[in-house]
Amino acid sequence: MEEKKYEDIDERTFKFAVRVIKMTMKLPSNPPSWVIGKQIIRSSTSINSNIVHAKVGVSKKDFTHYYRIALKEAEETKRWLEMIIAVELASTERMELLIQENQEIIKIIVTIIKNTIKKEN
């Protein structure tokens, strides 16, 4: 099995947001798609935005604060992905890779937060 190349969380969440935006462009053209599409674009792009803020934070407290917000946005994105499947705007198969990537991003963010808190104490 091929090992995944290390990728910076900033770059990874940027690419994830781009994939989510492209996915929303393929949703059916109807009011539920428009609403959910806008919400998932906001939450997925906010993950990356908060990570960028964390990188330029002036303190470890700022860093942790922005990563916690990024985690909340990742959890919200997860819910929107599940909603897209639940209301049958897209199939589970079609959403599988986005769901998997979102879960991996959540795990990475949680690890970063935990490690940062350990270093603070």
Question: What residue ranges of the chain have pLDDT lower than 50?
Answer: 1-5
CB 12 within 8 A of CB 42: no
- How much is the pLDDT for 19? 98
Site of tokens 């674009």: 41
Give the per-residue pLDDT at 7: 65
CATH number of 9-120: 1.20.1440.60
CA separation for the pair 104, 98 (Å, rounded): 10
Residue 121's pLDDT is what? Answer: 67
Q: Which helix (H) or strand (E) holds 73?
A: helix 60-86
pLDDT at 4: 45
Q: How many C-beta neighbours within 10 Å does residue 42 have? A: 14
Segments making up each domain of the chain, as ranges: 9-120
**Whole-structure pTM value:** 0.90
